[in-house]
């Protein structure tokens, strides 16, 4: 028992020391990336973020170090028995470095954990792994045979303190749960299931003949009648769709505003391969439940991960088309680089060309399609029929979900400005507001994961006219964002009683609200007056 408590205390001490140094290193690397984007980070901000990360990311890093160092120190003991005693400290230090390098590699390529700046490979990855030297040397010293067994009660107390302090710091500093907005009385609306058994549906659109088009991420396009009868649309003319689970695949569908005359549909989909993929815009003609005259209009800058694709379409009042593109969830700093499409809204004419009045058309080196930049993963887009303004919802990381009003040429901040934090609980940036960047109309922290957007303009719920409807994946509700003269004044939720992830929302010509749930056995719902 004496030996066990001693080894436990030694292991915990090494993990906490490693985590503290690694947290400081990752914070400086991350702040260095932001500085390279032009952010001015003063000493006070740097110190504040470093200390905050010690409590948040440091606690997470303690868990990573505990898991990584346990087998490393086991191997170190085996090797140290056969090595001269002067090599003992070097053996444990090297074992810890190798273990951390492997742990970060696994987090990137196998688990995977969303990449933070310090673990995306190269020199930064090696520097983070090198923080294991601290833990290895400390463990070698504390576990040296010459130190003797010591007092087991003292070792037990030390172990308890080393386990509890990071956990308490994490609990004190991590963002708390926000209260859910008031719910709309479920008795005030009626829910009908129009269709069920959908496989990862992503988007919904209406045809003039009364049918609804629904995309499924696996590549299927369905036409669903008001009675729920489903007809597959032949899509063999489409280019290959890159699909990975519920992350990327066949995404949005939007009929041309003149569809009744020209029969044109616009669709977005993943394209490419595992290590180089992006968001593609395709136009096709729907004729006799078949896609014909397929034409690729736009393919975004390739990215090395399948996540954060954007992919929503909206037609602007001037006849052009806006398309959202996510930051790719790898080098998020590219959302500040107008030379590519990552983390942007692009604006195209209906043949896929950049209009001559796009804000970056005449900027050397910039992608001419870029309309706005600084977005993370915008998955909702709508034009306000009352004002013509373009509105956007986008996912933050852990918090920082936003509704934005999109203005040509403006920068919406990601990752320099956000209220969210990284998934491993480190700060993305010191700044939740910064001069020169557009502030959101609304933020959600913690995240609700907004997956779509519609402006209600129907007749069934007249008191909701002009309000925004936002389906939430993580929040498992439909948010009604109440507006007064375009100004957001409150929120309510609908459908929370279903406890379902919600993927898309559209307002039908009949004034009813149509909602797609998410997942492998999803439904198309219709909300109307009871």
Per-residue pLDDT of the chain (530 residues; tens, 9 = 90+): 567 888 889 999 999 999 999 999 999 999 999 999 999 999 999 999 999 999 999 999 999 999 999 999 999 999 988 878 889 999 999 999 999 999 998 888 776 655 577 888 789 999 999 999 999 999 999 988 766 666 777 877 877 888 898 889 888 887 776 678 999 999 999 999 999 999 999 999 999 999 999 999 999 999 999 999 999 999 999 999 999 999 999 999 999 999 999 999 999 999 999 999 999 999 999 999 999 999 999 999 999 999 999 999 999 999 999 999 999 988 899 999 999 999 999 999 999 999 999 999 999 999 999 999 999 999 999 999 999 999 999 999 999 999 999 999 999 999 999 999 998 899 999 999 999 999 999 999 999 999 999 999 999 999 999 999 999 999 999 999 999 988 999 999 999 999 999 999 999 999 999 999 999 999 999 999 99
The structure tokens listed for 328 are 């790719």
The answer to whether the beta carbons of residues 18 and 111 sit under 8 Å apart is no
Q: DSSP letter for 110, please.
A: T
Q: What is the reported pLDDT for 148?
A: 60
406 strand-pairing partners: 390
Give the residue extent of every domain in the chain: 1-173, 199-448
pTM of the model: 0.94
Rg (CA), the chain: 26
- Identify the H or E element spanning 198: strand 190-198
The structure tokens listed for 3 are 């030996």
Calculate ∠ Cα 97-101-106, nearest 5°: 150
DSSP reduced 3-state for 521: coil
Q: What is the reported pLDDT for 115?
A: 58
Q: What's the CATH architecture for 199-448?
A: 6 Propeller (2.120)
CA distance 417 to 439: 9
Report CA torsion sign: 464, 465, 466, 469. Answer: positive
Three-state secondary structure string covering 37-54 = CCCCCCHHHHHHHHHHHH
Torsions phi, psi for 488 (to 5 deg): -75, 125
CA distance 249 to 241: 6
Q: What is the reported pLDDT for 498?
A: 97
Nearest to 77 by CA among 91, 94, 66, 57: 91
Which own/partner pairs from 97-100 qualify as long-range (CB within 8 Å, at least 24 positions apart)?
97/129, 97/130, 97/132, 97/133, 97/136, 98/72, 98/129, 98/132, 99/68, 99/69, 99/71, 99/72, 99/132, 100/18, 100/22, 100/64, 100/65, 100/68, 100/128, 100/129, 100/131, 100/132
Nearest to 475 by CA among 453, 455, 451: 451
Q: What is the reported pLDDT for 397?
A: 92
Q: Which residues neighbour 400 within 8 Å (Cβ) at sequence distance 6 or greater?
A: 376, 418, 419, 420, 421, 428, 443, 444, 445, 447
CA distance 105 to 319: 47
């Amino acid at each position: 028992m004496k030996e066990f408590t001693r080894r436990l205390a030694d292991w915990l001490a090494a993990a906490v020391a490693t985590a503290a140094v690694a947290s400081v290193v990752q914070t400086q690397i991350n702040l260095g990336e932001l500085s390279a984007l032009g952010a001015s980070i003063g000493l006070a901000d740097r110190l504040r973020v470093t200390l905050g990360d010690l409590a948040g990311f440091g606690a997470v890093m303690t868990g990573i170090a505990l898991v990584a160092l346990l087998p490393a120190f086991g191997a170190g003991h085996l090797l140290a028995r056969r090595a001269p005693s002067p090599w003992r400290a070097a053996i444990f230090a090297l074992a810890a470095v190798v273990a951390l390098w492997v742990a970060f590699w696994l987090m990137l390529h196998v688990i995977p954990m969303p990449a933070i700046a310090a673990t995306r490979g190269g020199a930064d990855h090696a520097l983070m792994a090198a923080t294991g030297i601290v833990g290895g040397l400390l463990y070698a010293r504390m576990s040296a045979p010459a130190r003797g067994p010591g007092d087991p009660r003292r070792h037990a107390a030390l172990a308890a303190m080393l386990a509890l302090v990071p956990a308490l710091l994490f609990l004190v500093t991590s963002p708390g749960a926000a209260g859910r907005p008031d719910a709309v009385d479920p008795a005030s609306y009626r829910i009908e299931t129009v269709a069920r058994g959908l496989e990862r549906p992503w988007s919904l659109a209406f045809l003039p003949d009364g049918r609804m088009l629904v995309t499924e991420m696996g590549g299927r396009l369905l036409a669903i009648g008001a009675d729920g009868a489903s007809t597959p649309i032949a899509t063999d003319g489409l280019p290959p769709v890159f699909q990975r689970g519920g992350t990327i695949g066949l995404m949005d569908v939007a009929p041309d505003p003149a569809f009744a005359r020209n029969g044109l549909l616009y669709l977005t989909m993943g394209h490419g391969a595992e290590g180089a993929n992006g968001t593609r815009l395709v136009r096709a003609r729907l004729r006799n439940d078949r896609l014909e005259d397929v034409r690729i209009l736009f393919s975004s800058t390739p990215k090395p991960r399948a996540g954060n694709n954007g992919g929503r379409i909206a037609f602007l009042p001037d006849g052009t088309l806006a398309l959202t593109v996510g930051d790719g969830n790898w080098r998020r700093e590219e959302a500040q680089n107008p030379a590519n499409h990552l983390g942007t809204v692009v604006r195209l004419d209906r043949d896929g060309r950049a209009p001559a009045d796009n804000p970056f058309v005449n900027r050397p080196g910039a992608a001419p399609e870029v309309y706005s930049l600084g977005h993370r993963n915008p998955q909702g887009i709508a034009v306000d029929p009352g004002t013509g303004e373009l509105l956007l919802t986008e996912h933050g990381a852990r918090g920082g979900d936003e509704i934005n009003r999109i203005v040509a040429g403006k920068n919406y901040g990601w990752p320099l400005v956000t209220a969210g934090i990284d998934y491993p609980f480190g700060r993305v940036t010191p700044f939740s507001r910064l001069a020169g960047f557009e502030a959101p109309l609304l933020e959600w922290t913690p995240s609700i994961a907004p997956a779509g957007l519609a402006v209600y303009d129907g007749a069934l719920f007249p008191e909701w006219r002009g309000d925004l409807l936002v389906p939430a994946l993580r929040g498992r509700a439909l948010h009604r964002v109440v507006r007064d003269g375009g100004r957001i004044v409150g929120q309510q939720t609908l459908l929370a009683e279903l406890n379902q992830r919600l993927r898309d929302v559209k307002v039908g010509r009949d004034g009813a609200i149509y909602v797609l749930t998410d997942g492998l056995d999803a439904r198309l719902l219709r909300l109307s007056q009871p």
